[in-house]
């Protein structure tokens, strides 16, 4: 059964696409569209054609799943050329999110209409691609080179009202009037006939446009392939004819499609959609209603979490031990709202509404109506257990009790209550209102309902919620330990902090480990290490970080840490004092310092992540390797175009990773570099981490 059908009404052919969930342009859809367009074009009784889609959206793009396979005909550029060549008006009637190849199909049509709520965009750059079916040649011709560049380089969709203003669409209608209005437009366009964008010319542009655009995006798209290709294509749309421009676009598209970058970004796309499929939690699991949220602790994290919940529409009670803390927390929340208004992200009304739903208290007794409590107090087990004992005594039955701990044992906290089944870890990342990642930590007794409700909460907070198991540091911080360990060893062995950071940033990390340590506060990690009894008995282990903290160098917050920071500046300056401290410690430990190549720095830090990721999979702390990738690309600045540490390992090849790990074992010792069993097994059988992911077995 083809996902494309054709009807006729008063001389108008209506071609409908019905390929849930998002009417992606699969091979069957392309074939069906071509068949129906041919049929309508050859039917003398048909004066005009309307293309419309069933379900929640018009075509949301090419079928991304097909990109890993050899392309099958009909190819999209040919289909679009066929639509444009029809000698009677073809109208695209759009609702939902018309994206990528879907918008290119609409640009092949002669007229476009959309409902008020529609969004239209070319997000290919977010997949390491560029529009590959004439979009880079048609869009500049229709709306101008500069707005076309903005749409394709940002990947962000525009609203229907903006699309009408720019000329991207010809008409707009109410959400429930699409079919009717499209038929009217079709009837009236018969007289004016087809209008082909290919025949239009791109309006003149300011001479400095392309150089300026290249300069503007250089920092943002560091290391990415496709943005430059997009700029080049739009340049060509002004310099060569339509067909030649399309040939160049196609060449660039195929080059990008086959690039590891696009593979990494496509992996990230599907990985983020897979996280909500939690093994053992069925689609029909009950979700508990949440309206009232209480946040315990009005510090930076508590205030950020409260702001996040208010922005998502919840009513929030903020609790702190003292009035001063509460005032400080409320002021932080006020500032966050004002910042949102200043950046034009939210309206004054939204701010007033949000702040109106906030109340503050020092009395646990006021939390009786809370549906969800999120504890964000000091990272100390005894203090957290005390808080949960109090919550257990005041909160209503069925309330979800969540802890924002970043490393501590969720079961130990849960067992401080009489209702461990209602306790879960909700690990937000700082700053809580910006970082997209939410580690949802299931305890041994946490109920399916509480897990399912937390996954739904993450969506409403616009977070990527990853369900992980309970162990020290869960997924992210547990792996960070091994990444940070190698950084600390490399400092002693001869690499400077700034060289390590530059090397990893050049490789794609958002920030280097030493700058991140200073940003997060070296004392945070120090206190956690002090609380642990199972640390390796190796004098080098976090030696430099410990010494810096013992000298009061906590990082940005104290003006110096691994780096120096000028007053009111976040820019790290190398500090000769730190370098001599490192040199002295190396001497004391009998470590001969040496020149260390960037490749060794990358491999030791990143393979430290990968090997611990493999152990996390074996321990069942992560349900799938792609979940680990989502944690690192959304919470730790791992380059999205590399897909995440586990996808990166798969792209390098696990046999090569294993061999390098064995080399490190022989050079640096088995305590830190014994290859994990899963890596050995997969490398030995020429398999990938993604091969053992649920749903792929
Ligand atoms: N191909 C295949 N599957 C897709 C898909 C696509 N384009 N878009 C979504 N899905 C699946 C998704 O994996 C999920 O599956 C389900 O649909 C619902 O998605 C030639 C080269 C449309 C805004 O980049 O941005 O066209 O997990 O959970 O939050 O120039 O999906 O249920 O099994 O995200 O409501 C360009 C990508 C492609 C758009 C809906 N298009 N999609 O968001 O639902 S490249 C895109 C989205 C291209 C041409 C080029 C969003 C959405 P499952 P969802 P949502």
674 part of the active site: no
DSSP character at residue 62: B
Q: From ligand 1's centre to the CA of 65, what distance in Å?
A: 10
Q: Does the beta carbon of 99 lie inside 6 Å of ligand 1?
A: yes
- Consecutive 10-residue runs of the chain (697 residues): their mean pLDDT? 96 98 98 98 98 98 95 97 98 98 98 98 98 98 97 97 98 97 97 97 92 88 91 97 98 97 98 95 96 96 97 98 94 96 93 97 97 95 97 98 96 98 97 95 98 98 98 97 97 98 97 96 91 86 96 96 93 97 97 97 98 98 98 98 98 98 96 96 97 68
Tell me, what's the pLDDT at 695?
Answer: 57
Radius of gyration in angstroms for the set of CA atoms belonging to the chain, rounded to a whole number: 28
Instruction: Choose which residue among 26, 56, 60, 465 to substitute to test ligand 1 binding: the one with the highest number of ligand atoms within 8 A of its C-beta.
Output: 60
Tell me, what's the pLDDT at 697?
Answer: 45
Tell me, what's the pLDDT at 532?
Answer: 84
Helices 543-550 and 476-493, interaxial angle, to 10°? 90
Q: From ligand 1's centre to the CA of 425, what distance in Å?
A: 30
124 part of the active site: yes
Tell me, what's the pLDDT at 156?
Answer: 96
Containing H/E element for 607?
Answer: helix 598-618
The answer to whether 450 and 397 are in contact (CB under 8 A) is no
Cis peptide leading into 74, omega within 30 of 0? yes
The answer to whether 394 and 373 are in contact (CB under 8 A) is no
| Distance in angstroms (rounded) separating the CA atoms of residues 297 and 491 | 36
Supply the pTM of this predicted model: 0.96
Q: Does the beta carbon of 124 lie inside 6 Å of ligand 1?
A: yes
Strands 12-17 and 48-53: parallel
The answer to whether 648 and 610 are in contact (CB under 8 A) is yes
Q: Does the beta carbon of 265 lie inside 6 Å of ligand 1?
A: no
| Distance in angstroms (rounded) separating the CA atoms of residues 512 and 503 | 8
Of 47, 104, 493, 603, which is the active-site residue? 104
Strands, E, within 54-169: which ranges?
90-94, 97-99, 111-115, 119-121, 158-159
């Amino acid at each position: 059964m083809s996902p494309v059908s054709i009807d006729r009404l008063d001389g108008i052919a209506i071609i409908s696409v019905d390929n849930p969930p998002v009417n992606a342009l699969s091979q069957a859809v392309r074939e069906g569209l071509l068949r129906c367009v041919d049929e309508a074009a050859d039917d003398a009784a048909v004066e005009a054609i309307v293309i419309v889609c069933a379900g929640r959206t018009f075509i949301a793009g090419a079928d991304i799943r097909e990109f890993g396979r050899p392309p099958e005909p009909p190819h999209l550029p040919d289909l679009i050329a066929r639509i444009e060549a029809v000698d009677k008006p073809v109208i695209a009637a759009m609702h939902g999110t018309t994206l990528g190849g879907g918008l290119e199909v609409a640009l092949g049509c002669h007229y476009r209409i959309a409902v008020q709520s529609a969004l239209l965009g070319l997000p290919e750059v977010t997949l390491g691609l560029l529009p590959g079916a004439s979009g880079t040649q048609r869009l500049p011709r229709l709306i101008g080179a500069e707005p076309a560049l903005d749409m394709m380089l940002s990947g962000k969709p525009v609203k229907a009202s903006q699309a009408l203003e720019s000329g991207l669409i010809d008409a707009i209608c109410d959400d429930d009037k699409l079919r009717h209005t499209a038929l009217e437009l079709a009837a009236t366009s018969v007289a004016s006939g087809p209008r082909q964008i290919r025949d239009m010319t791109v309006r003149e542009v300011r001479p400095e446009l392309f150089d300026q655009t290249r300069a503007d995006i250089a920092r943002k798209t560091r290391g990415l392939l496709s943005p430059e290709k997009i700029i080049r294509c739009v340049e060509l749309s002004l310099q060569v004819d339509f067909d030649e421009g399309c040939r160049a676009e196609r060449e660039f598209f195929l080059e990008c499609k086959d690039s590891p970058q696009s593979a990494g970004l496509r992996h990230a796309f599907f990985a983020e959609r897979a996280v909500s499929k939690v093994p053992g939690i069925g689609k029909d699991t009950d979700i508990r209603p949440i309206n009232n949220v209480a946040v315990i602790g009005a510090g930076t994290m508590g205030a950020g979490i409260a702001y996040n919940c208010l922005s998502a529409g919840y009513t929030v009670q903020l609790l702190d031990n003292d009035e001063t803390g509460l005032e400080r927390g409320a002021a932080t929340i006020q500032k966050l709202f004002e910042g949102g208004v200043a950046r034009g992200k939210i309206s004054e009304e939204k701010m007033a509404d949000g702040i109106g739903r906030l109340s503050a208290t020092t009395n646990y007794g006021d939390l009786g109506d809370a549906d969800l409590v999120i504890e964000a107090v000091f990272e100390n087990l005894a203090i957290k257990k005390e808080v949960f004992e109090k919550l257990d005594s005041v909160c209503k039955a069925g309330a979800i009790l969540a802890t924002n701990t970043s490393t501590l044992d969720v079961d130990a906290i849960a067992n401080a209550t009489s209702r461990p089944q209602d306790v879960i870890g909700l690990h937000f990342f700082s700053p809580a209102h910006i970082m997209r990642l939410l580690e949802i930590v299931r305890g041994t007794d946490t109920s399916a309902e509480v897990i399912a409700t937390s996954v739904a909460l993450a969506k409403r907070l616009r977070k990527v919620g990853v369900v992980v198991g309970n162990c020290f540091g869960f997924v992210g911080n547990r792996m960070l330990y091994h990444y940070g360990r190698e950084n600390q060893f490399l400092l002693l062995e001869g690499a400077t902090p700034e060289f390590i950071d530059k090397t990893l940033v050049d490789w794609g990390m958002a920030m280097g480990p030493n700058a991140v340590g200073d940003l997060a506060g070296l004392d945070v990690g120090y206190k956690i290490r002090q609380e642990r009894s199972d640390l390796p008995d190796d004098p080098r282990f976090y030696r430099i970080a410990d010494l810096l903290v013992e000298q009061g160098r906590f990082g940005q917050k104290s003006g110096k840490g691994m780096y120096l920071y000028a007053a009111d500046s976040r820019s790290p300056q190398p500090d000769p004092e730190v370098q001599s401290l490192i040199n002295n410690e190396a001497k004391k430990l009998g470590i001969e310092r040496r020149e260390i190549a960037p490749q060794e720095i990358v491999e030791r830090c990143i393979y430290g992540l990968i090997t611990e990721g493999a152990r996390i999979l074996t321990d069942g702390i992560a349900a799938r390797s792609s979940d680990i990738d989502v944690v690192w690309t959304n919470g730790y600045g791992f380059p999205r175009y590399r897909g995440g540490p586990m996808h990166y390992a798969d792209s390098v090849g696990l046999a090569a990773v294993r061999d390098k790990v064995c080399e490190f074992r022989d050079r640096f010792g088995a305590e830190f570099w014994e290859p994990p069993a899963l890596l050995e097994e997969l490398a030995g059988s020429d398999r990938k981490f993604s091969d053992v992911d649920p749903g792929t077995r």
